[in-house]
């Protein structure tokens, strides 16, 4: 267990290190940051003094080490537009995104897992065909189109819900619904596949043949084991949740992290982009580690050594 | 794929259903420039015209027009073309990069394997959109940057497939025999490993194509994809959201077009998978 955790931690550090290289290369590939920081009428001497003061004349490796030492302390500098520390601005938007993503994942699991189990138990019946086909349609639908169509139906035509913004629970319904539909298809299909595979295993057939109740076989013997790949999938899907959230936030003008980042790209506000990318990466690494640890709880046979 | 697998694939009714949709859609995408109306020509006497309108100038708009009176049929055809071409270009890069890295990692193991696995792990942890935001934020939005970003983040599944198979085959007798006969490494890899992963790569490549098309559409919707004036399905949809209350067709039709294209691709990928691993 300890060895596993150490390995996992080392891997996370390696991932973050790779990411820091990527972000550093990006910012330095994109040209002279001084152009963005100073007004265009600044004199050449002024620009030179500024460059020295900012350490931009140092060789690249020196600058990378400096960037890294700041990044380790989660210091990404001040936002170019707003002058506040970038990390603070990013952290302020995090709760809104976590609320959207958390509710959508919860809803997708509550709906998707039972549907997946149902299709597996009723394999090759009309239930199975209809739900599996709908799941594939869901996986093929662009998330922003679902969002815009839900606005057309519920905000423009029926006038039941607001089309954008945030503040009340009514503002959350359409974004959460959109993100839930985005996640649902994949979850149904993974649950179905996993459940079918487990139902075919010898210990489940043994349980059935010794006269165990169907209910006990399905839920006690099969379901718990079938959930292992499903939990992995949810962990892997976290990156799609964040990706889908970025787009969903844009559709509904929802003031979350994704919208902040997209607007920062438009404004070439690099500190915000760096801080946001790092923070999300940290969160995703933490989630994936938790998912791995949950195996042991779901299946005591798995010893993580 | 062997003859029997191919036969099993062709006998599946869903295969034909997918092809009946996919072939005309791909043909429409490739032949879009032959459509007589320009996607950027404006008809200011027929702005926001609903589908099926004949304008004062006598032009017929089958799918309506946008706020500048541009023909939505022409814009959708050209947007479809951009989706398909960008997706195909990105897929080619992803296949080449993924296959190469997978072969190297699986064959040499050790440090090479560690580096490739590290890169795979990094890309698997991060949302594609976030990487795209970092890259496009730094380099600016252009078609080249878009294709490279999609291609250089989409290779992971191919690398994993090829690496696992190479690893497995490296110790097989026929590969060892080739080694004993003095076949040099590149020849061995290409001749013995690639044919063994080809069916799985085909399945994965089809599904990945659908994913890349959706990713391109998402970035275009955010304004980070192919820059205007080239029409993209995501871009048309984003522009149409403003006019949702007065012109539903502008935002609705590009999404439907994407859905039809990606669904057909995904069904085809499913049938290929069913045939390859029944």
pLDDT at B21: 92
Q: Taking residues A27-35, report their average pLDDT.
A: 63
Asked whether residue A303 carries a pLDDT value surpassing 70, the answer given is no
Asked whether residue A305 carries a pLDDT value surpassing 50, the answer given is no
CA–CA gap between residue B39 and residue B68 (Å, rounded)? 11
Q: Quote the crossing angle between the two packed helices A270-298 and A86-121, to the nearest 10°.
A: 40
Q: Quote the crossing angle between the two packed helices B194-221 and B233-241, to the nearest 10°.
A: 30
The domain spans of chain A are 95-256
| Interface probe, candidates B118, B123, B127, chain A, greatest A C-beta count within 10 A | B127
pLDDT per position as a tens digit, A158-174 = 878 887 777 777 888 88
Asked whether residue A31 carries a pLDDT value surpassing 60, the answer given is no
Is the four-CA dihedral B276, A183, B86, B48 of positive or negative sign? positive
Q: Taking residues A226-242, report their average pLDDT.
A: 80
pLDDT exceeding 70 applies to what percent of chain B? 97
Asked whether residue A215 carries a pLDDT value surpassing 80, the answer given is no
CA–CA gap between residue A146 and residue A117 (Å, rounded)? 25
| Interface probe, candidates A163, A265, A275, chain B, greatest B C-beta count within 10 A | A265
Q: Quote the crossing angle between the two packed helices B72-108 and B143-153, to the nearest 10°.
A: 40
B51 contacts chain A (CB < 8 A): no
CB contact under 8 A, A149 and B255: yes
| Inter-chain CB pairs, A–B, below 8 Å | 154
| Residue B149 near residue B135, CB atoms below 8 Å | yes
Instruction: Using DSSP, state whether B47 is helix, strand or coil.
Output: coil
The domain spans of chain B are 22-27+72-276
| Interface probe, candidates A28, A35, A140, A288, chain B, greatest B C-beta count within 10 A | A140
pLDDT at B19: 93
Which of B:82-121 have CB within 8 Å of A? Answer: 118-119, 121
| Four-point Cα dihedral A59, A68, A34, B153, nearest 10 | 100
CB neighbour list of residue A180: distance below 8 Å, 6 or more residues apart:
A104, A107, A108, A111
Residue A60 φ/ψ, nearest 5 degrees: -50, -50
Asked whether residue B1 carries a pLDDT value surpassing 60, the answer given is no
CB contact under 8 A, A251 and B241: yes
Least CB–CB distance from B138: residue in A30, A136, A288: A30
Q: Residue B79 — very low, low, confident or very high, per pLDDT cuts 50/70/90?
A: very high
Cα of A89 to nearest chain B Cα, Å: 17
CB contact under 8 A, A246 and B248: no
CA–CA gap between residue A113 and residue A237 (Å, rounded)? 14
CA–CA gap between residue B114 and residue A10 (Å, rounded)? 13
Better-scored residue on pLDDT, A4 or A138: A138
CA–CA gap between residue A246 and residue A240 (Å, rounded)? 10
B135 contacts chain A (CB < 8 A): yes
CA–CA gap between residue A104 and residue A234 (Å, rounded)? 12
Does CATH number 3.30.1490.70 belong to domain A95-256? Answer: no
Which of B:217-256 have CB within 8 Å of A? Answer: 217-218, 221-224, 234, 237-238, 240-241, 244-245, 248, 251-252, 254-256
Q: Taking residues A91-119, report their average pLDDT.
A: 91
CB contact under 8 A, A144 and B238: yes
pLDDT at A1: 61
CA–CA gap between residue B105 and residue B122 (Å, rounded)? 16
pLDDT at A32: 61
pLDDT at B261: 95
Least confident of A184-188, A275-279, A293-297, B247-251: A293-297
Asked whether residue B64 carries a pLDDT value surpassing 90, the answer given is no
- Report the complex ipTM: 0.87
CA–CA gap between residue A294 and residue B77 (Å, rounded)? 48
Asked whether residue A27 carries a pLDDT value surpassing 70, the answer given is no
Most confident listed range (A6-20, B112-126, B186-200): B112-126
Better-scored residue on pLDDT, A5 or B250: B250
Least CB–CB distance from B133: residue in A30, A145, A261: A261
Q: Residue A227 — very low, low, confident or very high, per pLDDT cuts 50/70/90?
A: confident
Q: Taking residues B41-52, report their average pLDDT.
A: 82
Asked whether residue A82 carries a pLDDT value surpassing 80, the answer given is no
CB contact under 8 A, B221 and A280: no
| Residue B257 near residue A140, CB atoms below 8 Å | no
pLDDT at B216: 93
H/E stretch holding B60: strand B60-61
Residue B42: Cβ-neighbour burial (10 angstroms; 0-12, 13-18, 19+): middle
CB contact under 8 A, A250 and B262: no
Asked whether residue A30 carries a pLDDT value surpassing 70, the answer given is no
Cα of B34 to nearest chain A Cα, Å: 27
| Residue A296 near residue A304, CB atoms below 8 Å | yes
pLDDT per position as a tens digit, B181-198 = 777 766 766 777 788 788
Which residues in A lie closer than 8 A to residue B267 (C-beta atoms)?
136
Q: Taking residues B73-86, report their average pLDDT.
A: 93
Least CB–CB distance from B210: residue in A29, A140, A288: A140
pLDDT per position as a tens digit, B140-181 = 778 888 999 899 888 988 998 888 888 887 777 777 777 777
Query: Which one, of B77, B93, B91, lies nearest residue B30 by Cα?
Result: B77
pLDDT at A298: 64
Q: Taking residues A143-156, report their average pLDDT.
A: 88
List the single residue in A with minimal CA-CA distance to B211.
A140
Do the strands B60-61 and B53-54 form a parallel or antiparallel pair, or are they unpaired? antiparallel
B125 contacts chain A (CB < 8 A): yes
CATH of domain B22-27+72-276: 1.10.3720.10
Residue/partner pairs of A200-205 with CB below 8 Å, 24 or more apart: A201/A225
Which residues in B lie closer than 8 A to residue A239 (C-beta atoms)?
124-128
Q: Residue B212 — very low, low, confident or very high, per pLDDT cuts 50/70/90?
A: very high
List the single residue in B with minimal CA-CA distance to A249.
B222
pLDDT at A22: 74
| Interface probe, candidates A28, A142, A164, A286, chain B, greatest B C-beta count within 10 A | A142
CA–CA gap between residue A135 and residue A115 (Å, rounded)? 10
Q: Taking residues A90-98, report their average pLDDT.
A: 90
Averaged pLDDT of chain A:
81
pLDDT per position as a tens digit, B218-245 = 999 998 888 888 899 999 999 988 898 8
| Four-point Cα dihedral A281, A286, A292, A298, nearest 10 | -130
Least CB–CB distance from A22: residue in B134, B222, B258: B134
Asked whether residue B278 carries a pLDDT value surpassing 60, the answer given is no
Q: Taking residues A265-283, report their average pLDDT.
A: 82
Cα of A1 to nearest chain B Cα, Å: 21
């Amino acid at each position: 267990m300890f060895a596993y955790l150490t390995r996992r931690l080392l891997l996370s550090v390696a991932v973050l290190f790779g990411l820091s290289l990527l972000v550093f290369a990006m910012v330095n590939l994109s040209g002279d940051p001084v152009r963005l920081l100073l007004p265009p009428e600044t004199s050449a001497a002024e620009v030179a003094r500024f460059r020295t003061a900012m350490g931009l004349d140092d060789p690249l490796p020196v600058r990378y080490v400096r960037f890294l030492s700041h990044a380790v302390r989660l210091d990404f500098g001040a936002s170019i537009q707003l002058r506040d520390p970038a990390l603070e601005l990013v952290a302020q938007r995090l709760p809104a995104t976590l609320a959207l993503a958390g509710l959508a994942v919860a809803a997708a699991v509550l709906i998707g897992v039972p549907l997946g189990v149902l299709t597996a138990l009723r394999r090759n019946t009309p239930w199975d065909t209809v739900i599996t086909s709908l799941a594939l349609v869901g996986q093929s639908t662009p998330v922003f189109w679902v969002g815009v169509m839900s606005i057309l139906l519920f905000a423009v035509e029926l006038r039941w819900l607001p089309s954008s913004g945030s503040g009340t629970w009514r503002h959350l319904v359409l974004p959460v619904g959109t993100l839930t539909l985005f996640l649902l298809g994949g979850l149904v299909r993974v649950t179905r596949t996993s459940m079918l595979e487990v139902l075919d295993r010898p210990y489940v057939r043994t349980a059935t043949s010794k006269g165990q109740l169907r209910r006990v076989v399905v839920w006690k013997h099969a379901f718990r084991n079938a959930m292992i790949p499903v939990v992995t999938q949810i962990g892997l899907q976290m990156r799609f949740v964040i990706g889908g959230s970025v787009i969903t936030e844009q559709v509904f003008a929802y003031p979350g992290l994704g919208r902040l980042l997209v607007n920062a790209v438009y404004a070439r506000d690099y500190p915000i982009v760096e801080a946001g990318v790092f923070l999300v990466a940290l969160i995703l690494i933490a989630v994936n580690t938790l998912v791995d640890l949950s195996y042991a709880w779901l299946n005591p046979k798995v010893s993580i050594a | 794929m062997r003859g029997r697998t191919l036969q099993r694939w062709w006998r599946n009714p869903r295969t034909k259903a997918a092809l009946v949709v996919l072939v005309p859609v791909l043909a429409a995408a490739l032949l879009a420039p032959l459509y007589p109306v320009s996607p950027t020509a404006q008809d200011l006497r027929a702005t926001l015209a609903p589908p099926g309108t004949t304008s004062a100038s006598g032009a017929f708009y089958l799918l309506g027009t946008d706020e500048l009176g541009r023909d939505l049929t022409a814009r959708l055809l050209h947007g479809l073309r951009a989706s398909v071409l960008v997706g195909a270009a990105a897929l080619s890069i992803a296949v080449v990069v993924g296959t190469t890295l997978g072969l190297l990692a699986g064959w040499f193991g050790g440090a090479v394997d560690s580096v490739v696995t590290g890169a795979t792990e990094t890309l698997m942890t991060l949302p594609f959109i976030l990487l795209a935001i970092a890259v496009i934020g730094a380099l600016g939005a252009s078609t080249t940057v878009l294709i490279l970003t999609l291609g250089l983040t989409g290779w992971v599944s191919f690398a994993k497939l090829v690496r696992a198979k190479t690893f497995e085959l490296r110790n097989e007798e026929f590969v060892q025999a080739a080694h004993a006969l003095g076949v040099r490494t590149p020849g061995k890899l290409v001749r013995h490993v690639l044919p063994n992963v080809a069916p799985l790569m085909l399945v994965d490549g089809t599904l990945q194509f659908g994913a890349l098309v959706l990713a391109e559409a998402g970035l275009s919707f955010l304004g980070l994809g192919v820059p205007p004036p080239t029409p993209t399905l995501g871009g048309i949809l984003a522009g149409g959201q403003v006019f949702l209350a007065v012109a539903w067709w502008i935002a609705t039709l590009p999404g439907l077009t994407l859905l039809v294209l990606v669904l057909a691709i995904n069904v085809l990928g499913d049938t290929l998978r069913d045939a390859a691993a029944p």
